[in-house]
Structure 1
Amino acid sequence: MVGSSLLLGAVTLAAQSASALRIPARSVPLSRRNLAFSSDKGFKSRPVSNAATSTDDDDGSTSFLTNSGNNIYLANITLGGAAFTVQLDTGSTDLVLMPDKHIETTAVILDHQPNSTYGTGYMAGPVAFAKLEFGNYSVDSQAFLNGTSESFFDQAFFPHGIRGIMGVSLDSALSFVHEAMDEVYGDKHGRALSRSVLGNVFLQNPELDNFTSVYLGRTGDGEATDEGIFTIGEYVDGAENYMKDIKPVNVFKPTSWAVPLDAVTVNGKKVALNSTVKGAPSGKAIANLDTGTSLAMVPKFVLDAMYSAFDGAWYSDVLGSWIVPCLSGAPNITYTFGGQDFYIHPLDLTIVTDLSPAYNYTVCTPAFDVLSFGTDGMDMLLGDSFLRNSYTAFDYGSFSEDDDMLKSPSVKMLPLSSADEDYPEFLTYRAKNLASLPKEATKAEVQKILAEEGGAPAGAGEDDAASDNASEDANLLSASSAAASSSDDSSYQDLVDKLNTFGPVVIGLLGAIFVTLLGLLAVGVTICIRRGRSVGAARNVAPSYAPVPVRFKETEYRDEEHTRYNE
């Protein structure tokens, strides 16, 4: 009997594991669109073909990538004359990859080989140097971790042609390459040798403004596909006038893209924030903005406030997860940064899981999870399920030659979603998706599956509206979804529309491949081993938000780790 293990596997992958990848059940074909973007700094893009590996007319400025599930965003690089596809990650700094083809290296440091450790798995090997080409930029000698051993990457990344991760965080963030070079050459020379890709790009191109911008595309619950945008030193056409008027939010410490979060509001009611991070502003939380994480992870009281507000939601102690309606009753949830409200598109709130063939049912669970690591440096890890609702610019700041901070790193965020437009879109896309799936399971049907597998007896031990640990405020937040007013500025809406209709186009250097992550089968097998049962595999229905590797270690702020982007 496989039902409980199967359901638990689905929930575990979607809502509890922070680092498991799934293999895609099928790819989503891309339609060609007559859209293009050009830049006086050399960025170009054009409609992509359906073939992810197409090379026709490839000028090195575009990436041909498939969108099949909103999970991971990739960039193409050339390292030592060999082309690779890597994940673009604002949550880490190092370039880490295990090559499957020859790289012409300029040096290899065999001593002090670092081990880059993630939430699940690792990659280890010597630090090597090679010429890097990234879009229209090149670095003659870029440091990278040349992987010779790993775990997890061979299951999750390699089968899909993804050879590693390119960090685009601050050079002052945690860097295993930097630590290794410090041990060999000392701090000053080690830091100069181990600059990140962007650290070198900014150093070698002083005319560039010191920022990048990121837009993460979204699938329409299995409908239209949309790629991503990554720019260096410029904004997407049409965004400049809006971004210049947005007040930057300084990072909490110059070691990550963690910034103060002003508020979380559910159906018009604020959730009281109480940061556990030392020195955090009163009444705010510290949120790390991380493109390398598919889910968003928040404190449990925030999660309970969000998902208890779904009409008909209930919490399963057996599964350790909320079960929410797939279509009806999605609440109005906003996060506030720098005084601006960011409405979270309902497609980014839930995961649709098809339990067949074991059971002919569909269930929906949260696309947010409880943060269970790194809580000394952040309260929340806001990954792709949040970041799709913002066009975000990351300013890398500047530092003197003596490492004194002259300008703090900061972010600017432009809201992209609104309840007035996106809630009806959610209803349309989700209804069409559900029409092709088995019926949505009722609470009694889920409890019956759990009871058959030795879980809680049917009808017992499960709360109807909220978990036992949900706060009283959370229980009061289950009113019907409130509509947020959208801007009356037609030109602003034109910009939002432009961003939302870019795909399938790659702008700047970023493509989004929403590659599925390792498979409910693998998670189910793990659960099976623990419980002595055999399992089958459920499938998540696009868009499926399964998390990708996340670093456990959170570096402490040290003045000597400041990097120089302006020299």
Structure 2
Amino acid sequence: MKLSGAPAFLFYLSWLWAAARVRLDRRASITGTPDVENEGNTQYKTNITLNDKVFEVLIDTGSSDLYVVGDVPGAKDTGKTGSVTYAIGSTKGPIKTATLGFEGFTIKDQAFIEQAPDSQHTEGDGIIGLGPGSSSNVQDEIDNSSGDAPLDRIFRQNTTTPNYITVLLGRNNDPTDTFAGDFTIGETVDPYGNITSQPKLPVTDSSSGQHWTTLMDKNGIIGPDGQRINTTKRATGNRLNVMFDTGFTFPQVSNNIANNIYGRVPGAKLANVTGIGSPIWTLPCDTELNISFVFSNVVIPVHPLDTVTDAFHGDDDANGNPTCVGAFQPIILKNQGFDIILGMSFLRNAYLLIDFGDFVDGSLSKVGDPFIQLLSITEPVEAHNDFVQCVSVRQRRGLGSKYKIYIIVGSVVAGFIILTLIVAVSYRASSKRRYRRLNEPVPEGLPSYGRPPAQRY
């Protein structure tokens, strides 16, 4: 929301006050080798091997199965067929087994779905589900421990490995922190080891298959005006049930929440945007909105670059300026067992630890109830400065989009003129010398300077 003078100052102060209630850590100085690739803030992938063949898979805490696209050499066919339907897209194919290499662990005879390449599935891609094994479609088909999800297999065969994973998502084009992201099994990422001292948020039951869900505090969203958004829901004791999903680009919230975040911004509107399946708020790209989420009294500020994102663009406004999208997308979740899905735009602001507890299939002893821990990693002052630096980049990018048609037309015209001149010169040269005697030496070639540079528009 673009504000000036006293209102802007008060809104900013309220955000700082909320964030100051918990110690915040910066992303800088992260040690270790990142295992995650960030593709435009819309997908986070890592590499696995199946029988030594490498696949680049999406890390997805919202599903529980492994599938890859393409043939796995030497894989054994179980005679079963598996299928998984995701929020966007699906997979279906024979269930096979092979030796899985993942995060330094080796799992023999790991069950997976082998998807044939097609227009919707690219060779070498896939998804590794990191959700509770009880929601595995493959396990339902195999119906014994050999069909268990990869993480269940890892925790069972490596009894000294703690039953938790952590996820750290980086932010593309962040002017101060360029870390792509990381994923760990049974250990934390430096310097965020203190995540293990954060409040343990119990994993709640879900009526539509178990997911990584927990309860947010009552009215646990602080809006752009520094006030709590009314999210009362009597069915869950006035607290919303929240699912954490690394496979969702845009967090999914109710219409009421989205309206309270974006509805009062001048020029904002709910619209259809190419590449996004359902309506989403569009608004000026220089809109800085500061919101926070609260879990067990821990305030987690969201970076304004994540509240309003330029990963997608809406239609130009009335003045011909580009619009960006509000990342917290309004959606109606019916009979899902949870009220909000906090995807990538939220998770870039919180280091996430998920302890599987007794959700590991076949556990021989009680290891405790599953829980979630969150560590806030966005520092409000730095986030504001980041946004100020990035606004000019967004505007330049938008300007290029605005005049793209003129640039393209101009390039075509210029190319036609150059081609005409080349043909004319060639014709004049050939008309002066129509033949060459057999004993006349072949002319030397022009010097080579490598490939011509690609044109950028």
TM-score where L is the length of structure 1: 0.58
In the alignment, is the contact (CA less than 8 A) between 2:46 and 2:59 conserved in 1?
Answer: yes
- Kindly indicate whether residue 373 of structure 2 is the aligned counterpart of residue 412 of structure 1: yes
Amino acid at match of 1:411: I
Aligned twin of 1:110: 79
For residues 370 and 436 of structure 1, the distance between their equivalents in structure 2, rounded to whole angstroms, comes to 26
**Secondary structure of 1:104 counterpart:** coil
**Aligned residue for 1:70?**
41
- Which of 117, 120, 129 aligns to 1:153? It is 120
TM, length-normalised to structure 2: 0.71
**1:199 paired to 2:152:** yes
Instruction: Return closer, same or farther for 1:268/1:404 CA change in 2, 3 Å cut-off.
Output: farther
Conservation of the 8 A alpha-carbon contact between 2:268 and 2:284? no
1:83 aligns with 2:54: yes
Q: 1:75 to 1:322 in 2, by over 3 A?
A: closer
Distance 1:115 1:318 in 2: 30
Q: Does the CA contact (< 8 Å) of 2:53 and 2:72 recur in 1?
A: yes
Q: CA shift at 1:224, angstroms?
A: 6.8
Match of 1:500 in 2: none
**Corresponding residue for residue 121 of structure 1:** 89
Task: For 2:195 and 2:269, locate their aligned partners in 1 and report how far apart those are by CA, in whole Å.
Answer: 40
Within-5 A mapping of 1:124-523: 124-148=92-116, 153-154=120-121, 158=122, 162-172=124-134, 174-182=135-143, 190=144, 192-220=145-173, 225-240=178-193, 242-253=194-205, 255-262=210-217, 263-266=220-223, 267-275=225-233, 280=236, 282-310=237-265, 312-316=266-270, 321-328=280-287, 330-352=288-310, 353=313, 361-373=321-333, 375-398=335-358, 407-438=368-399
Pair 209,318 (structure 1): closer, same or farther in 2 beyond 3 Å: closer
Shift of 1:306: 0.8
Q: Contact (CA 8 Å) 1:124, 1:149: kept in 2 or not?
A: no
Distance 2:335 2:222 in 1: 22
Q: Residues 360 and 438 of structure 1 are in contact (CA less than 8 Å); yes or no, is this contact kept in structure 2?
A: no
Q: What letter corresponds to residue 176 of structure 1 in structure 2?
A: N
Higher CA-based Rg:
2
1:251 touches 1:259 (CA, 8 Å); kept in 2?
A: yes
CA distance in 2, matches of 1:131, 1:402: 22
Task: Find the aligned partners of 2:136 and 2:303 in 1 and give their Cα distance.
Answer: 34
C-alpha displacement of 1:438: 1.9
In structure 2, how many angstroms separate the alpha carbons of the residues matched to 1:94 and 1:375?
22
**Alignment length (residue pairs):** 359
CA distance in 2, matches of 1:317, 1:432: 24
Aligned Cα RMSD in Å?
3.0
Shift of 1:128: 0.8
| Contact 1:264/1:334, CA 8 A, preserved across alignment | yes
**Residues 232/318 of structure 1: CA separation in 2 closer, same or farther (3 Å cut):** closer
SS of the aligned residue for 1:437 comes to helix
Partner SS, residue 110 of structure 1: strand
2: distance between equivalents of 1:403 and 1:256?
A: 22
Task: Write out per-residue CA displacement over residues 395-429 of structure 1, whole angstroms, 9 at most, x where no aligned residue.
Answer: 01126969997522111100011322211211111
SS at match of 2:197: coil
Question: 1:55-89, CA deviations, whole angstroms, 9 ceiling, x for partnerless residues?
Answer: xxxxxxx57x4x45101111111102211111111
Q: Indicate conservation of the 8 Å contact 1:363/1:440, yes or no.
A: no
Q: Aligned AA for 2:166?
A: S
Residue 249 of structure 2 aligns to a residue in which SS? coil
Residue ranges of structure 1 left out of the alignment (5+ in a row): 1-33, 39-44, 47-61, 183-189, 442-567
Aligned residue for 1:427, secondary structure, equals helix
Q: 2:67 touches 2:128 (CA, 8 Å); kept in 1? A: yes
Distance, in Å, in 2 between the alignment partners of 1:170 and 1:245 is 23
C-alpha deviation, 1:332, in angstroms: 2.3
In structure 2, C-alpha distance between the alignment counterparts of 1:378 and 1:390, rounded to whole Å: 20
Overall identity of the aligned pairs, in %: 26
CA spacing shift, 1:373–1:110, aligned 2, 3 Å = farther
1:337 shift after superposition: 1.2
CA distance in 2, matches of 1:417, 1:137: 31
Cα deviations across residues 204-240 of structure 1 (Å, max 9, x unaligned)?
Answer: 1111111111100001369974311111111112322
Q: 1:351·1:365 contact (CA, 8 Å) conserved in 2? A: yes
CA contact (8 A) 2:30 2:190 kept: no
Q: Which amino acid aligns with 1:345?
A: H
Secondary structure of residue in 2 paired with 1:271: coil
Q: Secondary structure at the match of 2:378?
A: coil
In 2: Cα distance, 1:304 partner to 1:322 partner:
9
Shift of 1:371: 2.6
